[in-house]
Amino acid sequence: MKKEFPKGFRWGTATASFQIEGATTADGRGESIWDRFAATPGKILTGETGDPACESYYRYKEDVALMKKIGANAYRFSIAWPRIIPDGDGAINEKGLAYYSNLVDELLAAGIEPFVTLYHWDLPQALQDKGGWANRATIDAFLRYTETVVEKLGDRVKNWMTHNEPWCISILSNEIGAHAPGLRDTRTALAVAHNLLVSHGRAVPLIRARCPDAKVGIVLNFAPAQPATDSPEDAAAVQLHHEKFNLWFLDPITGRGYPKGAWSAYGDAVPEILDGDMGVMTAPIDFLGVNFYSRSIIHDESSPRNAKIINRRNPRNMMARGWEVYPKTLADLLTWLHSDYNLPELVVTENGAMYDDVVWNGEVHDLARIEYIKAHISVLPDVIEKGVPLTGYFCWSLMDNFEWAQGTRDRFGLIYVDVETQERIIKDSGKWFARVAAANAVVD
Ligand code: FCB
């Protein structure tokens, strides 16, 4: 198997503002839904909040230097909307803009290409108080925020992503209630999903207007599913899961509309569609960001609605989550996206693993993480050779950080962060990543 990558392939790491920045009240930053959620007892496993996280707001120069050390030539990060427009739709906070402008300069000086996600979950709380993403007015607020950011950074940032994982923003946060704002209402969740798609479609031309050479995309999370048995019930459950999880966003963006089976399964919880909405969503994108961690194996115990995801077949190295390690699915996913949707470019915008890392004499020997990443990048050269236009791989994450509802318990970083002292230690996986990036090939 050929293990080399095409010239110019991006070897990046990814983070999100709320997960690393800390400094949640510094320089005029407004409250976000994650500040409110984390401050609510019982919502975060460890009882932590977004402060201090990794204090990257103060330590960004050190963090860019570390990126350089681990050989990354690209960095995917997100902008905190409440730093830019603290109450969501009011006054603009120049200090917030300055932070990201400085970060971009630091990256470019280090030879690291910035990839910016506009919305990675930290909605200004003031907008949530008015209904959040379920309120169509949030679409306009998002467009104004987007224009403000692109105006400031568009001379230097050429890669833009509108939203990160709309499934998590809508279903996980508003139907399942595990993430901020913690609601449990399917109709609200689907209204959120719909408005996210409209906001994405309207943002795409707006970004291009302010940054003509921009490449614009969106990041979707995929959990391809397989049935546990040959039963027709399991087959039906897999299909429904696929439509709800994998197609609900992809199909509208690519002009196919909402998937029919899931639409009817949702009954009267489906969103109201205004004239023009479905057309707006199909604004052509330059690339699709693909987040992949694991596949799902589905077993239906009575009806597709009661189907359970049971991943018991392979090593479940990600202990606390039970996510299965199954890299073949990444190859199949990218191949399917290319053959069925023919998108101009695909980028793996997140892939990585969570382990209980231990510091031993000042080092972290996270061999299991190396194995996980190696297994996943090993499937990519073949995929590229078959014609899939994959241009980059971003490891989640640059460093251990505030892993949402799990707090800092779940470590995903190539760099270890001591939560007490803020000391950073490049893990063995980070050192290995540097060799991969330098060789532009899978290495041992
Ligand atoms: C993804 C999120 C990212 C991180 C990883 C582990 O769903 O986009 O912020 O939490 O999972």
Is the CB of residue 222 below 6 angstroms from any atom belonging to ligand 1?
no
8 Å CB contact between 42 and 106: no
Mutate to test the pocket of ligand 1, among 13, 170, 179, 350 (most ligand atoms within 8 A of CB): 350
Report cis status (omega within 30 of 0) of the bond before 264.
no
Mutate to test the pocket of ligand 1, among 372, 404, 406 (most ligand atoms within 8 A of CB): 404
| Ligand 1 midpoint to CA 20 (Å) | 12
Is the CB of residue 16 below 6 angstroms from any atom belonging to ligand 1?
yes
What total of structural domains would you count in the chain?
A: 1
Signed CA dihedral, 408, 411, 417, 421: sign only: positive
Nearby residues of 254 by Cβ (< 8 Å), 6 or more positions away: 282, 341, 343
Residue 363: strand pairing partners? 360
pLDDT tens, N- to C-terminus, the chain (444 residues): 458 999 999 999 999 999 999 999 999 999 999 999 999 999 999 999 999 999 999 999 999 999 999 999 999 999 999 999 999 999 999 999 999 999 999 999 999 999 999 999 999 999 999 999 999 999 999 999 999 999 999 999 999 999 999 999 999 999 999 999 999 999 999 999 999 999 999 999 999 999 999 999 999 999 899 998 999 999 999 999 999 999 999 999 999 999 999 999 999 999 999 999 999 999 999 999 999 998 888 988 766 556 666 654 555 555 446 778 899 999 999 999 999 999 999 999 999 999 989 999 999 999 999 999 999 999 999 999 999 999 999 999 999 999 999 999 999 999 999 999 999 999 999 999 999 999 999 999
| Helix 94-109 vs helix 56-69: crossing angle, to nearest 10 | 10
**147 assigned to active site:** no
Element (H, E) at 215: strand 215-222
Residue 162 Cα distances to 139, 145, 149, 312, angstroms:
12, 11, 12, 35
8 Å CB contact between 13 and 73: no
CATH of the domain at 141: 3.20.20.80
**350 assigned to active site:** yes
Q: Which domain does 97 fall in, by range?
A: 3-442
Is the CB of residue 402 below 6 angstroms from any atom belonging to ligand 1?
no
Q: Rounded distance, CA 386 to CA 393, Å? A: 17
pLDDT, residue 200, reads 99
pLDDT, residue 163, reads 99
pTM for the model stands at 0.96
| Ligand 1 midpoint to CA 133 (Å) | 20
DSSP helix, strand, coil percent of the chain (3-state; round to 5): 45, 15, 40
Is the CB of residue 412 below 6 angstroms from any atom belonging to ligand 1?
yes
